[in-house]
Amino acid sequence: MNAKSEPRLIDNVKRLERHMLERIRGPAIALMRKIYPGLAAADAAPVVNIRAENGQTIAAGATPAAPVLLWGSGGFELSACIDPDDQALAVPLESDHAGFYGTGKPANPASTRQHDRGLAALLTFAYRKAAQALPGQLYLGHKAAGVWIVLDREQKTLTVEAPAIGGKIIIGAGAGPAYRAARTGDTVVASDGFAAWGAAVTVSLTTLGVPPSAPFDPDMGTIGSGSATTFIR
């Protein structure tokens, strides 16, 4: 064989390197495809194609039934529904964690696969060109549905808002005028205007010779009952 036609060592090393990189996948942004009802799992397809050794690009295969990792600690959980085309970060794991998924406890690798996209776990996120939260705020909501909660560290307020139906509640030091909610057992007291009217009626009746059996009392008792669920609009 002609020495010039023989592959050089450096060429073989580069080819081996490319082959290894094609097999070892890193994290990739993916879109949810098939959703598995009742399970925190979904098929997810990467949004960027793979560049093959020959320089051409090919579609990356979907990760089947990948577990969706939810935020949680201390017994608390923060989760949301999963819809097709939701975004996620697919993170290939070093080994097969199927045993851990089944028991929630340390386990041996369930197979010999390593660094395989089929072993990926999904971290959901929502990419936006601009965040809904303003500086100093934490935003939790659904803009399209018109409902959200905003915590503002500067104003020291918590706002629950549903503009679609005109509803808004602001709680905190910067909430503005103090409009209080009535509670079961709270005393009901007549306003100054109503108390003045009641006193005037008492005087008029007395002048007419038909005094009321008891003087007008601005203390009108207490709130006897309240609703278990309150709707504010």
More confident residue, 164 or 139: 139
> How many other CB atoms are there within 10 angstroms of residue 127's CB atom?
6
**Which tokens in the block code for residue 70?**
């939810």
Comparing 43-52, 54-63, 87-96, the range with the smallest average pLDDT is 54-63
Residue 87 CA to residue 78 CA, distance in Å, equals 17
CATH code given to domain 9-125: 2.40.50.230
- Name the band, by pLDDT with cuts 50, 70 and 90, for residue 232: very low
The reported pTM is: 0.65
What does the DSSP 8-state code read for residue 95?
Answer: B
Residue 22 CA to residue 174 CA, distance in Å, equals 55
Q: In the predicted model, what is the mean pLDDT of the chain?
A: 82
Please write down the long-range contacts of 67-75, taking CB distance under 8 Å and 24 or more positions apart: 67/40, 67/41, 67/101, 67/121, 67/122, 68/40, 68/41, 68/42, 68/121, 68/122, 68/123, 68/124, 69/40, 69/121, 69/122, 69/123, 70/40
**Which tokens in the block code for residue 39?**
């399970």
Reply yes or no on whether the pLDDT at 209 is more than 60: yes
- Residues 216-227: tens digit of each pLDDT: 777 778 888 776
